[in-house]
Copies of this chain bind each other. A is one copy, B any other.
Amino acid sequence: MAAANVKDVAALAGVSLGTVSNVLNRPEIVSPETADRVMQAIEKLGFVRNDAARQLKAGRSNTIGLVVLDVRNPFFTDLARGAEDGAGAAGLSILLGDSGRSHERETAYLDLFEEQRVHGVLVSPLSDVARRLEGLRRRGIPAVLVDRSGTGSGFSSVSVDDVAGGRLAVEHLISIGRRRIAYLAGSFDFSQVTDRLRGAREAVASHPGTTLEVIDIGGLTVLEGRAAGERIVARAADDRPDGIFTANDLIAVGVLQALVMQSDIRVPGDVALVGYDDIDFAQTAVVPLSSVRQPSALLGRTAVEILLDEARDPTLQPRQIVFQPELVIRASTVP
């Protein structure tokens, strides 16, 4: 009834403890017949290795901690999936923690991971966790920042080039003939929001005759997008932008609701629209939404790879990997 351990298996198979362990961990050094006998004993007893003992011996757990800002955000779940794949390839698993943008929870997870002696941690940091991560590193636990540049922090990072994303979106609007571009966003204290704006500015700057109007809509939600859309609808036709770029897809969906529902403005005929993030709803919107997609899974996978490299060789210099986003063109810009 009590869980079987290696000793029980060894006794049943008529071998020593060490041999059972070898069957489990280095099967190539034990003779096929012995291995077979041991396997049968394992089967018979329903033996399951005790991970705690194994970890205690090994000095570290075979897991990687991942703290994300919000599991409900598909960006992070895709990222987590990528990280899991990467970890799985190395025989590790991912411990997923959702900080929900709470400092307290973020810290709690890092504490937990430290007690667990994880292989390393991946963090999409709420704010400045550099000091905390520094402490982990001193203990031999490397960390990689995800979705945030680690430049200057002394840590490696994987992130997406939001400036390029903004440029991509607006270049596209310009390439389909739009001249009066508007950037709709809120929460300008998020670096993502301002980086995308910077990219938009660059695109406009390099195309004479185009203008960029920046509209602060106060937030990043559908409702705020719709309100902003209504204000645009209310404008005189020749005062409206003919291309709109929004800081995320939620805003774009809101804008779309206002334009298509509450007016006869055509999308993309009169106004072309590009969102950001390529959420599921982007392609199922009333007018399928062009959007900038981030390679989330790749981000996760790469973060794990860097982490493992650093776990292997702690003297490695921190690396900042920046991925390029991708534009997904749909009917909101090209009918």
**Which one of B52, B84, B96, B286 contacts A56 once the chains associate, using CB atoms below 8 Å?**
B52
**Which one of B77, B93, B117, B261 contacts A261 once the chains associate, using CB atoms below 8 Å?**
B261
B46 touching A135 by the CB < 8 A rule?
yes
- Quick one: closest B residue to A76, CB to CB? B71
Chain B residues within an 8 Å CB radius of A286: 257, 261
- A313 located at the interface, meaning its Cβ lies under 8 Å from any Cβ of chain B in the complex: no
Chain B residues within an 8 Å CB radius of A49: 115
Chain B residues within an 8 Å CB radius of A140: 3
A284 touching B221 by the CB < 8 A rule?
yes
Chain A residues proximal to chain B, CB less than 8 Å: 1, 3, 46, 48-53, 55-56, 61, 71-72, 74, 77, 80-81, 84, 93, 95-96, 98, 100, 111-112, 114-117, 135, 138-140, 221-223, 226, 250, 253-254, 257, 260-261, 281, 284, 286
A93 touching B71 by the CB < 8 A rule?
no
A281 touching B222 by the CB < 8 A rule?
yes
**Which one of B52, B93, B135 contacts A117 once the chains associate, using CB atoms below 8 Å?**
B52
Chain B residues within an 8 Å CB radius of A56: 50, 52-53, 56
B81 touching A284 by the CB < 8 A rule?
no
Distance in Å from the Cβ of A306 to the closest Cβ of chain B?
Answer: 23
Chain B residues within an 8 Å CB radius of A284: 221-223, 226, 250, 253-254
Chain B residues within an 8 Å CB radius of A115: 48-51
CA–CA, A3 and B136, complex, Å: 11
29 chain-A/chain-B pairs, Cβ below 8 angstroms: A1-B138, A3-B139, A3-B140, A46-B135, A46-B138, A46-B139, A48-B111, A48-B115, A49-B115, A50-B117, A51-B61, A51-B115, A51-B117, A52-B52, A52-B56, A52-B117, A53-B56, A72-B74, A72-B77, A77-B98, A80-B98, A81-B98, A81-B100, A84-B98, A223-B284, A226-B284, A253-B284, A257-B286, A261-B261
CA–CA, A112 and B55, complex, Å: 13
CA–CA, A124 and B71, complex, Å: 18
Chain B residues within an 8 Å CB radius of A261: 260-261, 286
CA–CA, A328 and B118, complex, Å: 43
- Quick one: closest B residue to A281, CB to CB? B281
A116 touching B46 by the CB < 8 A rule?
no
Chain B residues within an 8 Å CB radius of A100: 81
Distance in Å from the Cβ of A280 to the closest Cβ of chain B?
Answer: 8
Chain B residues within an 8 Å CB radius of A84: 98
Distance in Å from the Cβ of A278 to the closest Cβ of chain B?
Answer: 14
Chain B residues within an 8 Å CB radius of A117: 50-52
- Which 4 pairs between the two chains have the least Cβ-Cβ distance? A222-B284, A52-B55, A52-B56, A51-B115
Distance in Å from the Cβ of A321 to the closest Cβ of chain B?
Answer: 25
In the complex where A56-B56, A71-B71, A254-B284 touch, is A116 in contact with B51 (Cβ < 8 A)? yes
**Which one of B52, B77, B138 contacts A61 once the chains associate, using CB atoms below 8 Å?**
B52
Distance in Å from the Cβ of A177 to the closest Cβ of chain B?
Answer: 25
A116 touching B52 by the CB < 8 A rule?
yes
Chain B residues within an 8 Å CB radius of A226: 284
Chain B residues within an 8 Å CB radius of A53: 52, 56
CA–CA, A261 and B267, complex, Å: 13
